[in-house]
Amino acid sequence: NGNILVSYTGERGLRNEVLKKMDPAEFPEIPLPKGEFVPVKGLGLALSEACRFCCEEVTRFAITGILLAKGEVVASDGKRLYRRLVPGLQQEPKILIPNSKFFGLKQLAEEELVGVFASKETAWLKIGNVVWGGRLIEGKFPDYEEIIPASCENALTLSEDMIKALVEVLGSLPY
């Protein structure tokens, strides 16, 4: 009759459950954005890294999300600050998107181009053929630029190869 019978073994032995077929017309239509997604190189990696730095305390609502600003992605838990420059990101004005377990997926970090579209209330990301949407977080992200020094007398610039070599060496050193 179009229903699906699922049999599985649980704590009480063999179980049978019937999943009733539902008409797709009963579900509401998903309101997709009415605009163009702008592909941004490096945004997937920045989001997957930033999600590990978001605050999880509900009392600190303004830093539970990820800030997308012109040329950068920023996140903080109040103790650590994550900032990654993403030159292709032309997000003006700054928007604060909610953190999502979706951002921690390996596929997102490996995706070369992630499309972004933002309206007044919602942000949308397009990763391959998957579209993620979320309501923007209201509130103001802390002024992180104040704590980053404008200049530094002692600076060290490392190439990507040097950083990889350093990580490899540090991993083999004893505590």
Tokens of 30: 């998903």
Tens digits of residue pLDDT in 149-161: 888 888 888 999 9
Supply the pTM of this predicted model: 0.71
Residue-by-residue DSSP string for 71-121? EEEEEE-SS-EEEEEEEEEEEEEEEEEEP-GGGG-HHHHH-SEEEEEE-SS
Residue-by-residue DSSP string for 31-52? ---SS--EEEETHHHHHHHHGG
- Give exposure, 94-118, as e/b (b: 16+ Cβ within 10 Å): ebbbebbebbebeebeebebbbbbb
Q: What is the DSSP letter of 173?
A: S
3-state secondary structure of 18: strand
Q: Can you give the pLDDT at residue 12?
A: 82
Q: Can you give the pLDDT at residue 75?
A: 94
Tokens of 7: 């049999």
Q: Which residue has the tokens 């083999």?
A: 172
Tens digits of residue pLDDT in 4-56: 888 988 778 888 888 888 888 888 887 778 888 889 999 999 999 999 999 88
| Mean pLDDT confidence for 60-76 | 90
Neighbouring C-alpha atoms within 13 Å toward the C-beta of 37? 21
